[in-house]
Amino acid sequence: MSTLTAPQVKAIDTVVDLEPPCYEPIYIGPTWRRDEDGKWLLPERTLGWQIIGWCAEYLLAESSTDEDPQPWRFTREQMRFILWWYAVDEHGRFAYRKGVLQRLKGWGKDPVAAVLCMIEFVGPSQFSHWATEDDVETGNARKVGDPVGKAHPRAWVQVAAVSRDQTRNTMTIFPGLISEKAKAEFDIEMGAELIRAKDKKVRLEAVTSSYRALEGARSTFVILNETHHWVKGNNGDKMYETVDGNATKRKGRYLAITNAYLPGEDSVAERMREAYDKSLEGKFAQLRIMYDSVEAPPGAPLTPEFARQVLEKVRGDAIWLDIDDIIQSILDTTISPARSRRMWYNQIVADEDALFSAEDWDPMFAQEFLQPNDVVVLGFDGSKNRDATALVAIRASDRLIQPLGIWERPDGEEGKNWSVPRESVEAAVQAAFALFKVVGFYADVEQWESHIADWSEDYGEQLEVRASGSSSIGWDMRGSLKRSTLANEALMGAIIAHRFKVAEKAKPMNATNDEVDIAWTLRRHVMNTRRRENNYGVSFGKESKNSHRKVDGYAALLLAYQALLDWVERGKPNDDNEPGEGSFL
């Protein structure tokens, strides 16, 4: 742990390394933001400074003994997290309603979770008032006007997990964490799974996967322990929904602690990451989720010479992690490389069947967009209410990919009776033909046959390539397995070779969901695709039939690419808006 004590803590002003090493980690969250001078950006208003001092006064370091009690000390990284987690707005409202702390194995998530539980249990975890001179004199604030915290009068803190062993990881920390001073001042009564205080008016308890027993609990703060293990098979999904509902009723908050999850398991960790990604897309701008993670970049090698360099960065302030031991684990051939990446590099990676990685897709992002009268091809994959519906364009001249619309069922109650807004889809198709010169339009026929028939009648004569012998637009992906598979292999090769550009901030071409950045929605669909081998080669699919992770945007891209291949094969002449001979095939 850091040697800083709370009274010594001032603004953190470490300057960024001017020559960062290779494989610099991916930093996610406000904890890692810096200003133009390289100094850490800290929240303007936060209860965190008062809380840091409170922890030093009432909590003990892990190295403490009965003979030599030592005050709790945060590392600088942990302090920045505390400052941001307890940031408030000008009305004293917390900036974040829920959060995720994702780190590599052994970083110390459980001790930090235990400290947070104590803060919420009997510490100054709630906004009280804006500081006066008296508050500055008593040490509750650094300056007049700062937010001042108070304890929750009816705190109900929970450590939730899907197994008793997981809750035990956190609960066993409390006996050594709570000082005698805290026990006396707050009247704390210790227990293995239930701790009470303040004449039993407040409680801190461990809870496991009986989500029905949790229903109705008036929790004010919850730690969700190891959410990468919270899956449907152990009722983790229902546990999460119950915790969220309980916290919402009391205006409480909750924080998930997790390692990197396995994509495709539909774990709560995966759902929370997707929700965070959607908030970046603009779909859930008011979600108020704080995501904090340090992840090795996609290309970081699992070799001894580079692993040391990567681990020294990814572990952050967790200098107690023995890098030599971790390298030995990485080199152990009985452990899959993907698992080592998740455990030690904190990378979210699938095992072996992911069709693409972020390294394949992200370099193609560009600040370019389709322009009126561009020559384009379109691809369409539709659903009624279960899967997503997508319309994607590719510009012929430079293979710029731009999604024109992606319609997905909302999460939760709102999505139960949802169906695709067909008027919005129709409007997007009409706008595409009005704005661009569309030379090819391939659409999967399943569930949209009548609409595709109408589009063929309305636009078929102006198209220069036909999807099939029976329709200018309709394409049966399931009935054309060989052709679809060959097209998928061609598209995979082109993406991996970075033969495309992708419009980075694309907006949908319809009157609804204008705030959604569908370029990132398309990226999510591409990242969701999985390898599916057949007699003709490598095709694609979802992780499972019932997976909520959609791939329809990629299916629409594939159809657009097939239309482009067919159009180029016709030998179109080279002009300013059309590809030349052998330009990218």
Q: Tell me, what DSSP letter sits at residue 447?
A: T
User: What's the CA gap between 300 and 304, in Å, rounded?
Assistant: 11
Judge whether residue 6 has pLDDT over 60.
Answer: no
At residue 138 the predicted structure's pLDDT band, cuts being 50, 70 and 90, is confident
| 8 Å CB contact between 447 and 382 | yes
Q: What is the mean pLDDT of residues 281-303?
A: 83
Residue 584 is assigned to a structural domain of this protein? no
Give the model's pLDDT for residue 580. 39
Lowest mean pLDDT among 200-204, 254-258, 304-308: 304-308
119 and 10 within one domain = yes
Judge whether residue 413 has pLDDT over 70.
Answer: no
pLDDT tens column, 312-340: 999 999 999 999 999 999 988 788 888 89
User: What's the CA gap between 451 and 472, in Å, rounded?
Assistant: 13
Judge whether residue 8 has pLDDT over 70.
Answer: no
**Three-class DSSP labels, 112-165:** HHHHHHHHHHHCCCEEEEECCHHHHHCCCCCCCCCEEEECCCCCEEEEECCCHH
Judge whether residue 72 has pLDDT over 90.
Answer: yes
Residue 402 is assigned to a structural domain of this protein? yes
User: What's the CA gap between 82 and 172, in Å, rounded?
Assistant: 22
The per-residue pLDDT of the chain, averaged, comes to: 87
Amino acid 343 reads M
371 and 296 within one domain = no
The domain that holds 39 is classified in CATH as: 3.40.50.300
Amino acid 417 reads N
At residue 135 the predicted structure's pLDDT band, cuts being 50, 70 and 90, is very high
Give the model's pLDDT for residue 249. 79
Residue 493: domain span: 358-569
Q: What is the mean pLDDT of residues 17-38?
A: 79
At residue 264 the predicted structure's pLDDT band, cuts being 50, 70 and 90, is low
Q: What is the mean pLDDT of residues 266-277?
A: 88
At residue 579 the predicted structure's pLDDT band, cuts being 50, 70 and 90, is very low
Residue 351 is assigned to a structural domain of this protein? no
Give the model's pLDDT for residue 355. 87
Higher pLDDT, 566 or 17: 566
Give the model's pLDDT for residue 234. 84
Lowest mean pLDDT among 98-102, 304-308, 353-357, 513-517: 513-517
230 and 132 within one domain = yes
| 8 Å CB contact between 54 and 317 | no
427 and 331 within one domain = no
- Token pair 């590392």 is found at 75
| 8 Å CB contact between 193 and 117 | no
Backbone angles phi, psi at 123, to 5 degrees: -95, 180
Task: State the first-to-last Cα distance of the chain, in angstroms, to the nearest integer.
Answer: 56
477 and 517 within one domain = yes
pLDDT tens column, 106-130: 999 999 999 999 999 999 999 999 9
Residue 585 is assigned to a structural domain of this protein? no
Task: Output the CA torsion 237→164→60→73 (10° steps).
Answer: -40
Give the model's pLDDT for residue 336. 82
175 and 111 within one domain = yes
**Domain end point (choices 317, 344, 371):** 344
At residue 503 the predicted structure's pLDDT band, cuts being 50, 70 and 90, is very high
Judge whether residue 575 has pLDDT over 50.
Answer: no
Judge whether residue 92 has pLDDT over 50.
Answer: yes
Residue 441 is assigned to a structural domain of this protein? yes
Residue 583 is assigned to a structural domain of this protein? no
Q: Tell me, what DSSP letter sits at residue 415?
A: G
369 and 334 within one domain = no
Strand 365-366 relative to strand 501-503, pairing = parallel
Which pair of structure tokens corresponds to residue 417?
Answer: 């009776």
332 and 384 within one domain = no
Grouping H, G, I as helix, E, B as strand and the rest as coil, residue 43 is coil
**Three-class DSSP labels, 54-66:** HHHHHEECCCCCC
- Token pair 């997790």 is found at 258
390 and 266 within one domain = no
What is the crossing angle of helices 422-435 and 449-459, to 10°? 20
Would the pTM of this model clear 0.85, i.e. be above it?
no
Give the model's pLDDT for residue 68. 86
At residue 409 the predicted structure's pLDDT band, cuts being 50, 70 and 90, is confident
The domain that holds 489 is classified in CATH as: 3.30.420.240
153 and 76 within one domain = yes
User: What's the CA gap between 234 and 240, in Å, rounded?
Assistant: 11
Give the model's pLDDT for residue 279. 82
Highest mean pLDDT among 5-9, 318-322, 516-520: 318-322
Strand 537-541 relative to strand 530-534, pairing = antiparallel
Lowest mean pLDDT among 114-123, 402-411, 453-462: 402-411
* Centroid of chain to Cα 20: 25
Give the model's pLDDT for residue 53. 96
Higher pLDDT, 478 or 190: 190
Give the model's pLDDT for residue 115. 97
Question: How many domains in the chain?
Answer: 2
Residue 581 is assigned to a structural domain of this protein? no
416 and 339 within one domain = no
User: What's the CA gap between 97 and 279, in Å, rounded?
Assistant: 13
Higher pLDDT, 57 or 2: 57
122 and 49 within one domain = yes
Q: What is the mean pLDDT of residues 235-253?
A: 87
Q: What is the mean pLDDT of residues 427-452?
A: 93
Residue 308 is assigned to a structural domain of this protein? yes
**Domain end point (choices 344, 371, 398):** 344
Judge whether residue 569 has pLDDT over 70.
Answer: yes
Judge whether residue 71 has pLDDT over 70.
Answer: yes
Give the model's pLDDT for residue 540. 93
User: What's the CA gap between 261 and 269, in Å, rounded?
Assistant: 6
Q: What is the mean pLDDT of residues 293-309?
A: 89
Q: Which helix (H) or strand (E) holds 42?
A: none
Give the model's pLDDT for residue 21. 47
Judge whether residue 20 has pLDDT over 60.
Answer: no
Q: What is the mean pLDDT of residues 462-481?
A: 89
Higher pLDDT, 212 or 346: 346
Half-sphere exposure for 296 (CA within 13 Å, toward CB): 28
User: What's the CA gap between 24 and 295, in Å, rounded?
Assistant: 9
At residue 573 the predicted structure's pLDDT band, cuts being 50, 70 and 90, is very low
pLDDT tens column, 363-398: 999 999 999 999 999 999 988 777 889 999 999 999
Which pair of structure tokens corresponds to residue 157?
Answer: 């803190």
Backbone angles phi, psi at 481, to 5 degrees: -60, -45
